[in-house]
Structure 1
């Protein structure tokens, strides 16, 4: 299904009945990443999966897609579906979008889960790396996609999940160049939202990979200190929806039903 939004269309799926669960994918991903989890989750919940701006079947609206703009698109889908309150799970960049949504509409959330994601902003070094990445993407985004996605997995898992990686790369290659750059620009300028982990009324969970090549695990542990946030640790990398699929399903079920 699609709805119009600022001159383009937002694509989403809506399955199951019950309490609303909103799943937001990460950078270079789409609703496709949830296809293994969605059937089980929709047995108990109403599951809404949304293609974020410039990804999947959702178009671009500019040369920078801020996390706030992406959250506005999510809000538009939920308003269209007349969903007042939901639990939101965001993978990587999807977590940044969920946080932007939470900052604007905290009363609309029952729960928030950051999956292989962080509430902190990019460091100065990370912002420089984003700039370098944008230049690489402009030269050959297909090569960038292949390397970037493979490197999100724990090294020993790159052989184990070889076919899954191929599928992820194939889907990612459908992402338009403008969508890739706009997302990188948006992530680069996102706000620090660690305060939301401490001063929001809804329940919170962070799922982290101990061997995540992108996010430092120890930094995530420090981030939740003193906050009412459940920390779930998996032994693998940044792609928990593939590397730890069954454990992730159980963690999500427990979080929503608690």
Structure 2
């Protein structure tokens, strides 16, 4: 059921369904809660599932031109407070993973488990930071093409052919993201800090879902991160978007992780 609350004069849109262990699904950049449409029906059979449209995405308003990971995390905390959820499992895809880490850093006592789905606790490289800033300068003059290019770059050539229809639907959702939301999220991501310590210093369960052909995150670096932070891993053969490229396997991996938390 779709609901909303007001946070710092911004409307935050979210949904809440099912009963059992609370699982919060946090979407990525240029996505919204609809990205979980193939996940929610399966894992809500035995769990309470909360999905949230992040600031500047979906049906949620923007709050200025910098959406820091800490600000995003505050909105997650506001939704959990509204729903009276004291403890939950967090699953964050890409940007959603960075936000989950920021939330867990501030509220470790509220976290039963943390799954980084094609995300990292490392900060952006200098090259990546520069790339985000360049994109923000270019976006004003070429929004649609920039959004399409950003999304297309998340898939390898083979996936672009196999999942052409699903990718086009996802692109149409991405194009609904306002320019302000695009800019604010990019600014926030390039400012985010290293949060390896969130994984190493906490006793809650941790899982990294990694794509061998992920064009955003280097595979070997992700494996090294998992080892250094003592996090469990699930490896998929495809890229950055397992909810499109590995639907059934993703559901199985999430159900297994939820079970052990």
| TM-score relative to the length of structure 2 | 0.97
Q: CA deviation at 1:228?
A: 2.5
Give aligned pairs, total: 258
- CA distance, structure 2, for counterparts of residue 117 and residue 69 of structure 1: 18
2:148 matched residue in structure 1: 146
Per-residue displacement from partner, 1:178-236 (whole Å, max 9, x unpaired)?
00000000000001001112111200000000000111010001112243210110000
Q: Can you give the 5+ residue segments of structure 2 that lack an aligned partner in the other structure?
A: none
- CA distance, structure 1, for counterparts of residue 131 and residue 151 of structure 2: 16
2:42 matched residue in structure 1: 40
Per-residue displacement from partner, 1:72-96 (whole Å, max 9, x unpaired)?
0000000000000000000000000
* Contact map agreement 2:97 2:119 (CA 8 A) in 1: yes
* Contact map agreement 1:30 1:55 (CA 8 A) in 2: yes
Equivalences for 1:1-258 in 2 at 5 Å?
A: 1-258=3-260
Greater mean deviation of Cα atoms: 151-160 or 209-218: 151-160
- CA distance, structure 1, for counterparts of residue 156 and residue 89 of structure 2: 28
- CA distance, structure 2, for counterparts of residue 130 and residue 33 of structure 1: 23
* Contact map agreement 1:106 1:201 (CA 8 A) in 2: no
- CA distance, structure 2, for counterparts of residue 164 and residue 118 of structure 1: 25
* Contact map agreement 2:196 2:229 (CA 8 A) in 1: no
Q: Can you give the 5+ residue segments of structure 1 that lack an aligned partner in the other structure?
A: none
* Contact map agreement 1:197 1:224 (CA 8 A) in 2: no
Per-residue displacement from partner, 1:95-114 (whole Å, max 9, x unpaired)?
00000000000010000000
- CA distance, structure 1, for counterparts of residue 259 and residue 98 of structure 2: 24
Q: CA deviation at 1:163?
A: 0.7
